[in-house]
Amino acid sequence: MDLRTILWIIGMGITAGTPLLYAAIGEVLAERCGVLNLGLEGLMLMGAITGYMFASLTGDKWIGILAVIVISALLGAILALLMVTYRTNQVATGIAFTIFCTGLSALIGKPYIGVVATDTFKKIRMPFLDGVPMLKPIFEQDILVYIAVILCIAAWFFVYKTKAGLHLRAAGDNPATLDSLGVSVYKVRYIYTIVGSILAGIAGAYLSLAYSPSWIEGMAAGRGWLTIALVNFALWKPQNTITGAYLFGIFYALSYRLEAMGIAVPSYFLRMFPYVLPLVILILVSWRAKQKGSIAPKTLAVPYLRGSK
């Protein structure tokens, strides 16, 4: 495998990992405040069909993204109402929500199967790289890739360098203390459940408007579930999500490249290959927790009741 092929795989890995990066940043924010959102798969599917539908109807991809933000915020508010206000079991709620959204996205998306959107996100050409064409696969990406990287850096700064970020962490580690200081734990959890849902929706829109411009039923293909493992891999730190997301993306691109190279391995095994990574991640994180103690938010998936400890 020569250098050109390696750089191509890295570039494709960045593209493939971008939807995971959006979803992982949002899930880190939600889990840091104590909310485990297992509805990511459903939110990604709803984001994919919403973005594609509105981009097809209006001919403007940015209107599609705006529609995704609005719909995902509403869905996130419903999740927050159930998990934060009514204190439903977060695991059961997330799974049920994913099942509901999977069916709803399939129903809404039926008329859009085979429909071509006229305006989708294209890779940005960078003429200054003409002298080093091998670097183009890495740096010539669409605008949403660059936004995701900037968002990752901004999330790190927000979580660790701002007062609001301190409140976010306190809501997940010691909500009673935060409440005693006059900061509403319910409000904090509502905000970041909604923010996380919006980013999951944008992750889905990236699939249908940039990665593979089309609507295919179930096109999230388990990426929502993978995001949960990536958040563990990132140790609940937003700056680490970029490593996990792009590492999976590289594994995903590599599986296709191995098949193209004629490697004598069944194609189904190669398709399965990238999904082994989350299993390895969970094993390593569990081993680390036994050795050094868990660094997960202390009240993750635990509903907060004012007056409780």
pLDDT classification of 257: cutoffs 50, 70, 90: confident
- pLDDT of 308: 59
* pLDDT single digits (tens) 136-177: 999 999 999 999 999 999 999 999 999 999 999 999 999 999
Tokens matching residue 9: 């795989």
126: which residues sit within 8 A by CB, 6+ positions away?
A: 136, 139, 140
- Per the listing, tokens 């020569």 go with 2
- pLDDT of 256: 73
Query: Quick one: 24 exposed, middle or buried, by C-beta within 10 A (0-12, 13-18, 19+)?
Result: buried
pLDDT classification of 264: cutoffs 50, 70, 90: low
| CA-to-CA separations, 290 to 119, 294, 302, in angstroms, rounded | 50, 7, 21
- The CATH code that applies to domain 3-116+133-292 is 1.10.3470
Q: Which of 185-189, 271-275, 300-304 is least confident?
A: 271-275
Strand (E) or helix (H) holding 283 = helix 276-292
Tokens matching residue 36: 């485990």
- pLDDT of 236: 94
Q: What pTM, to 2 d.p., does this model score?
A: 0.94
Residue 202 has pLDDT above 90, yes or no: yes
- pLDDT of 270: 65
Q: Cβ–Cβ contacts within 10 Å for residue 185, how many?
A: 24
pLDDT classification of 276: cutoffs 50, 70, 90: confident
Q: Which of 33-47, 49-63, 247-261 is least confident?
A: 247-261
**Angle, CA 29 vertex, CA 100 and CA 203 arms, to 5°:** 50
| CA-to-CA separations, 18 to 142, 210, 245, 247, 249, in angstroms, rounded | 10, 10, 7, 11, 8
Q: What is the mean pLDDT of residues 3-10?
A: 88
Q: Cβ–Cβ contacts within 10 Å for residue 145, how many?
A: 21
Separation between Cα atoms, residue 138 and residue 146, nearest integer Å: 12
* pLDDT single digits (tens) 68-94: 999 999 999 999 999 999 999 999 999
Tokens matching residue 303: 């509903």
262: which residues sit within 8 A by CB, 6+ positions away?
A: none
| CA-to-CA separations, 117 to 15, 55, 58, 110, 149, in angstroms, rounded | 20, 6, 9, 15, 26
- pLDDT of 288: 74
Q: What is the mean pLDDT of residues 9-16?
A: 93
Tokens matching residue 153: 């850096």
Q: What is the radius of gyration, based on Cα positions, of the chain?
A: 20
Residue 263 has pLDDT above 90, yes or no: no
Residue 275 has pLDDT above 80, yes or no: no
Residue 230 has pLDDT above 60, yes or no: yes
